[in-house]
Structure 1
Amino acid sequence: MTYKVEVYIYDLSRGMASMISPLLIGKRIDGVWHTSIVVYGREYFFGSQGVESCNPASTALGRPLQILHLGETQIPYTVFIEYLSGLSETSYGTGTYDLLKHNCNNFSQELAQFLCGASIPKYILDLPNDVLQSNLSPTLQKLVQQLEHSARPVSDENRRVTKEESPEFLQLNTQIEEARCASQRIDEKRKSLKEKLAKKERKKEKKRKKLQKQGLSVRFDSEVSIMADTETMNAAESNPLPSDQALQFEEDERRQEEERKRSRDPPIVFRDLIDVKAEYEIFENLLKDQLIEDERRSLDELGQYLLGDEGSWVVGDGFLNFIGRLLNDTAVQHEIRIHVLNLLAAAALKDDVILVLHQDRKDHVLMNYAYEIDRIGVDEQLALALFIANMFENLNSSEWLLYISEWTYNNQPISNIRVTTKVAVHSLLSDIPELQDRGAAIMYNMACKEVKSVVFDDVAVELTMALLQYFNTKPTEEQLWRCMKSLAKFTQISGQDVPQLIQMIGPHPSTFRGTSGRVDEQIDIICAKLR
């Protein structure tokens, strides 16, 4: 399908600029231009409140002064809204607006280029230079800043960019509801069975008392015992006890998990980078005399878990509070955070680490910290990326990394999968080879995990854009293979969104043919989806 792309042009001054500009800056300016892009039946614009949208021409500015047709776009709405969400969280986030250097017109130009390769009128983009070159530009700037507030939706209705619920998401909710109903039916059946057994018991007792009066109690007890044993055996065969059902369910789950482990592509993890014993001893010495009693206990629990070959049961409820303080307290030494992340990376390789992670369901200590990867030191970034990569060793912990449930952090809605994506993208696109290596491993692990499309849809564009951008560097054969395989997996999961992005943005995967046989194999898979 194709969609019409238009630019709406408004004059914030409503004609006043042409009259007062000669007095203020010594030259005539026809208008103080505000622009927006109208596509998919919505008007999108950028201002001091960030990226916003509304029904066309429903801001306080009223009807636009001029409407220009820029062209047509074939980009699917889902791809566009993901791209827009990315802009609203990064370069066009709240607080990034600058009247002269980063304004609504720069945003409209970027959208026009993305949607149909067009540009908004040059005289609009040149306006900031006219103001900057004048002597009284601060006076005019202050006036325009006041006028900019009128370029807002008349109501707050659906102002922020949001993603519509996908059919897969609705299907998942339906499946959850069906499972809940099935569970209720089982409970009702169990209750009914108990009532029947109680009713039979009452009848048996009544009959026994009646026969006792007739002097036949001994014979009756024998017969009733045989009957009861027969009934019990039949019931056990047709309706296993709840405990038997639970054991069978657990056994089936274990068998399925083992089968999934055997069938999945082995994750890329880093087993030999950390000397756990030496790392723990350094960590312990750095913390000497700095811990309160509860924190000292948590440190000992970590040692037992990593060095004593104990299960995660040794880790108490306050463990993650201890970890959170070390990661977020600015008074804590930088080296301590690196060592705690390295120890967490070693713990991530253990089978039962998921039980520790589930302690973080409320406070999100680990993922809130990981979300700040672009604001921490390089050594911490390396240790954090190592931890995330190693978490893919086990199925349960890898699934935890891809949870889609959201919470709010620093006024931003985030989720485990968005944090994992941010770590992968930031690491892959860094200029540090070691961090790129770990980023490529995380990207590969995300792709090779059996991810439902309802999960992947939320981050497909961001991951694909990062891969395509990375291909413009000079990756090693190993990293190229990891990323090419990731892209091949993403083309299979995402339907048409990823193939369309590859064709629109490039570079084309065939550019890398001849690097190695295994790289060529992944290129063939991708190209088959591009046809």
Structure 2
Amino acid sequence: MNEQGASVELYIYDLTKGLASLLSPAILGRQIEGVWHTAVVVYQTEYFFGAGGITNCTPGSTQLGAPYRVERLGETFVPYQMFLEYIHALGTTTYTPSSYNLLEHNCNHFSEEVAQFLCGAHIPKHIVAQPEELLPSAHSALQGLLDSMLPRQQTVYTNGGLRHNRQDSPDYLTLNTQIEEARVASQELDARRSSLAEKLARKQRRRDKRRRKLRDAGDSEPDDMAEAVEAVPSAGEELSRAGPSSAALALDADERRQDELRKRERDPPIVYTDIDGMQEFEKLSKALEGMELTAEERQSVDELQQYLVQGEGSWVLGDDFLAFVGRLLAGGSEAVRVALLRCLAAAALRDDVSLVLHQDRRHHALLNYAHSVDTLSAPEQHALALFMCNLFENISSSEWLLYISEWDHNGQPLSNIRATTKVCVHCTLSSDLELRELGTALMHNVATKEVKTVVFDEVCVELAMALLQLLQWAPAEEQLWRGVRALARFAQHSSDVPQLIAMIGPDPAAFRGTSPRVDEQIDLIMKQIK
């Protein structure tokens, strides 16, 4: 059953409320439609950037009132908790209060970056480009335009930044503070109500599940349980009409994370923890000795050392770090590329590595490179597969590998899961036994990942075909077990896979007796075929 993603919208505000269109010819010498401020609305919350840093609020509740226009950007399947981590990382690195700049780093740049992260969408180009189109010489005139149109005692957002035209009176400040306190208290009350409604809805779902099990077993349900189940829907129905609150979404995200952790205990990923980050960094440093680096590139090397060797947090890796990685992967020697990938494989074991990966949303350097796996040398393929296997050490980084949002790569659509699938298939079917070892580990990790069914809709058959080819070769027990285990999971994800197994073969039952754990997975496959 496919699950819907969360809606992503762009709120577009005209700071002049229509007056720019009327007065700009006289003041600026040219007509402009509006002076734009934007915010991204997702998970029932509005996010924007200004002189005070990143701010969130109930959609449409800023002093700007209702948006001039709302544009739908798409849907996101980024887990809510991961999105919060991403926003927190932006707020402490790229989008701090001190980094705000009306021309070069404003609310619209923030909206563009967040939209790309959530669903690979862009905000209208003319909004981002407006400061450049007006030219620096026009900004003083633009400021005059705003001053002439806005009430003197009004506090307004100027392109995302908070600006006071005149000092407010103490009475006004006191009243404003009281209003804000009442608003916050109201939001907290709404959050508690929504959280309670969400809990009741979850109880209903659990009870419905028990009712189905009892019905399938032919048992009757006790009257008190039936009454309890009938008492809950009103809360769930109310929730579905209003939409979940941020607090409820956070609670749901935490529950999903806990479910994943419990599943991880049952299906631990295959990762390679014996890699030493310090040794790998030394190899990279040696490989870089004959390469001319700019000051910015040397800074990126220093940042990697701080992160990988000294154990600093991902905050030490600057905004240009992954762009630097992309340059090395595109133009470095084979020794440099292999050493860099092995450094990344060591870094993949860190629990904050997903915050680094999200920086690649703009350039896609890592997965564009991964998609060319069949053109790489054997050492590069090994290092790449090792890196991708180790990303399954943590939930958020493994989910990053399976994102379905697409971008254009050499004229063709590409996504994270497409690149991951290609690496899985190529390595699993390699004649190089070491690479096949890594490929079957990656295939196992992908198959046993707890994800929305929609993620596997387009790739299940391709992955299953590779696994059936692997079985044709009658691999050793370890690789056979990984293969049939992955095949069993894909058969659960897609109804096409059991048909594929029955039509193409080989018959999984032919491998019975290899080991008890192989037999267990074969039994699961045969249940799906029948």
| TM value normalised by structure 2 | 0.56
Query: What is the percentage of aligned positions where both structures have the same residue?
Result: 50
Contact 1:370 1:423 in 2 (8 A): yes
1:172 partner letter: Q
- Aligned twin of 2:519: 520
Q: State the distance in 2 between where 1:337 and 1:250 align.
A: 39
User: Cα gap change, 1:191/1:301 in structure 2, threshold over 3 Å: closer, same or farther?
Assistant: closer
2:297 to 291, 295, 302: 295
Larger Rg: 1
2:280 partner letter: E
- SS at the partner of 1:309? coil
Contact 2:367 2:419 in 1 (8 A): yes
Structure 2 unaligned residues grouped into runs of 5+: 10-39, 47-56, 66-177, 196-244
Contact 1:286 1:336 in 2 (8 A): yes
1:316 partner letter: G
User: Cα gap change, 1:232/1:462 in structure 2, threshold over 3 Å: closer, same or farther?
Assistant: closer
Q: CA deviation at 1:235?
A: 5.0
Note the aligned Cα RMSD (angstroms): 3.4
Q: State the distance in 1 between where 2:367 and 2:281 align.
A: 23
User: Cα gap change, 1:323/1:457 in structure 2, threshold over 3 Å: closer, same or farther?
Assistant: same
Alignment of 1:238 onto 2:189: yes
Residue range with higher mean Cα deviation, 508-517 or 182-191: 182-191
Contact 1:485 1:522 in 2 (8 A): yes
2:293 partner letter: L
- Aligned twin of 2:330: 328
User: Cα gap change, 1:425/1:270 in structure 2, threshold over 3 Å: closer, same or farther?
Assistant: same
Aligned pair count reads 325
Q: Following superposition of structure 1 onto structure 2, how do residues 345-360 of structure 1 map, counting pairs within 5 Å?
A: 345-360=345-360
- Aligned twin of 2:508: 509
**Cα deviation digits, residues 312-334 of structure 1 (max 9, x gap):** 000001111211111111xx321
Q: State the distance in 1 between where 2:526 and 2:513 align.
A: 15
User: Cα gap change, 1:350/1:473 in structure 2, threshold over 3 Å: closer, same or farther?
Assistant: same
Residue range with higher mean Cα deviation, 303-312 or 446-455: 446-455
Q: Following superposition of structure 1 onto structure 2, how do residues 64-79 of structure 1 map, counting pairs within 5 Å?
A: none
Q: State the distance in 2 between where 1:236 and 1:415 align.
A: 38
2:44 partner letter: S
- SS at the partner of 1:527? helix
User: Cα gap change, 1:387/1:188 in structure 2, threshold over 3 Å: closer, same or farther?
Assistant: closer
Q: State the distance in 2 between where 1:430 and 1:182 align.
A: 43
- SS at the partner of 1:172? coil
Structure 1 unaligned residues grouped into runs of 5+: 1-166, 195-226
**Cα deviation digits, residues 145-177 of structure 1 (max 9, x gap):** xxxxxxxxxxxxxxxxxxxxxx94xx626x537
User: Cα gap change, 1:502/1:313 in structure 2, threshold over 3 Å: closer, same or farther?
Assistant: same
Alignment of 1:441 onto 2:434: no
User: Cα gap change, 1:290/1:231 in structure 2, threshold over 3 Å: closer, same or farther?
Assistant: closer
**Cα deviation digits, residues 470-526 of structure 1 (max 9, x gap):** 00113111111111010000111112x001100110001001000000100000000
User: Cα gap change, 1:233/1:456 in structure 2, threshold over 3 Å: closer, same or farther?
Assistant: closer
- Aligned twin of 1:425: 425
1:176 to 7, 20, 41: 7
Q: CA deviation at 1:530?
A: 0.6
Contact 2:43 2:249 in 1 (8 A): no
Q: State the distance in 1 between where 2:377 and 2:361 align.
A: 26
Q: CA deviation at 1:404?
A: 1.0
Q: State the distance in 2 between where 1:327 and 1:500 align.
A: 40
1:311 to 310, 313, 332: 313
- Aligned twin of 2:286: 285
User: Cα gap change, 1:233/1:507 in structure 2, threshold over 3 Å: closer, same or farther?
Assistant: closer
User: Cα gap change, 1:270/1:234 in structure 2, threshold over 3 Å: closer, same or farther?
Assistant: closer
**Cα deviation digits, residues 227-285 of structure 1 (max 9, x gap):** 99x9899858734699x98688657644542342122321111111x222122112112
User: Cα gap change, 1:182/1:236 in structure 2, threshold over 3 Å: closer, same or farther?
Assistant: closer
- SS at the partner of 2:413? strand
User: Cα gap change, 1:237/1:397 in structure 2, threshold over 3 Å: closer, same or farther?
Assistant: closer
Q: State the distance in 2 between where 1:355 and 1:182 align.
A: 20
Contact 1:428 1:436 in 2 (8 A): yes
Q: State the distance in 1 between where 2:185 and 2:388 align.
A: 51
Q: CA deviation at 1:294?
A: 0.5
- Aligned twin of 1:129: none
User: Cα gap change, 1:525/1:297 in structure 2, threshold over 3 Å: closer, same or farther?
Assistant: same
Q: State the distance in 2 between where 1:500 and 1:249 align.
A: 38
**Cα deviation digits, residues 88-129 of structure 1 (max 9, x gap):** xxxxxxxxxxxxxxxxxxxxxxxxxxxxxxxxxxxxxxxxxx
1:281 partner letter: E
Contact 1:452 1:493 in 2 (8 A): no
Q: State the distance in 1 between where 2:396 and 2:383 align.
A: 21
**Cα deviation digits, residues 36-94 of structure 1 (max 9, x gap):** xxxxxxxxxxxxxxxxxxxxxxxxxxxxxxxxxxxxxxxxxxxxxxxxxxxxxxxxxxx
- SS at the partner of 1:176? strand
Q: CA deviation at 1:188?
A: 5.8
User: Cα gap change, 1:474/1:319 in structure 2, threshold over 3 Å: closer, same or farther?
Assistant: same
- Aligned twin of 1:396: 396
- SS at the partner of 1:407? strand
Q: CA deviation at 1:187?
A: 2.5
User: Cα gap change, 1:189/1:514 in structure 2, threshold over 3 Å: closer, same or farther?
Assistant: same
Contact 2:440 2:483 in 1 (8 A): yes
- Aligned twin of 1:490: 490
Q: State the distance in 1 between where 2:484 and 2:388 align.
A: 20
Q: Following superposition of structure 1 onto structure 2, how do residues 23-34 of structure 1 map, counting pairs within 5 Å?
A: none
Alignment of 1:376 onto 2:407: no
Residue range with higher mean Cα deviation, 342-351 or 410-419: 410-419
User: Cα gap change, 1:237/1:435 in structure 2, threshold over 3 Å: closer, same or farther?
Assistant: closer
Contact 2:338 2:379 in 1 (8 A): yes
